[in-house]
């Protein structure tokens, strides 16, 4: 009999936690000016497994968390261009709430770096997150923008 440990199954809750942590990390990076590397390290040490109201949640999947944050950093120009295209005429990204920017960027990054995931899965995850942070009207806004951004990035 072997003592080999089987890898922990990445549950839906752990993936959702990674997405939440990625949005929080992107927000933090924008507010503090810290690099992705510094922010990822800090989150890996302290923040994975902490919800939007500082409540404990199931520990996030660290690989997905890092992939999303790095996906935004590596593709930010294309992501921001795609988001800007779907905002009302004359709007700038800076007009959006910082949390909304982080959420839209994270979702857009997944459309780019996780081609194996369906459009519907990514939409479901980020619209659910939008409901955690915002009222219904803002969640609908996130849904509309992200749906169009996803279609544009995967066209």
Domain count, the chain: 1
Domain that holds residue 65: 12-153
Residue at 114 is within a domain: yes
CA–CA separation, 22 and 69 (whole Å): 6
> Closest Cα to residue 64, out of 108, 17, 99?
17
Write the DSSP symbol of residue 107. H
Indicate if the pLDDT at residue 133 is higher than 60.
Answer: yes
What is the pTM (predicted TM-score) of this model?
Answer: 0.88
Q: Do the domain assignments include residue 135?
A: yes
DSSP 44-83: IIIITTB-TTS-B-SPP-HHHHHHHHHHHHHHHHHHHHHH
The DSSP call for residue 94 is G
Give tens-digit pLDDT for 34-67. Answer: 999 999 988 887 766 555 566 655 678 889 999 9
Q: What is the pLDDT of residue 44?
A: 82
**Residue 5 maps to a domain:** no
Cα dihedral angle (106, 112, 115, 121), rounded to 10 degrees? 30
Whichever domain contains 102, its CATH number is 1.10.940.10
């Amino acid at each position: 009999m072997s003592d080999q440990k089987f890898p922990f199954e990445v549950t839906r809750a752990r993936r959702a936690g990674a997405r939440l942590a990625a949005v929080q990390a992107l927000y933090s990076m924008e507010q503090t000016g810290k690099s992705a590397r510094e922010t990822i390290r800090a989150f890996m040490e302290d923040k994975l497994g902490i919800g939007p109201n500082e409540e404990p949640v199931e520990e996030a999947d660290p690989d997905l968390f890092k992939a999303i944050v790095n996906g935004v950093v590596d593709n930010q120009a294309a992501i921001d261009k795609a988001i800007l295209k779907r905002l009302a005429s004359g709007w700038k990204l800076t007009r959006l709430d910082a949390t909304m920017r982080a959420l839209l960027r994270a979702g857009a990054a997944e459309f780019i770096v996780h081609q194996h995931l369906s459009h519907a899965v990514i939409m479901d995850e980020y619209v659910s997150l939008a409901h955690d942070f915002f009222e219904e009207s803002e969640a609908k806004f996130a849904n509309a923008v992200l749906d169009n951004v996803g279609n544009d990035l995967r066209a």
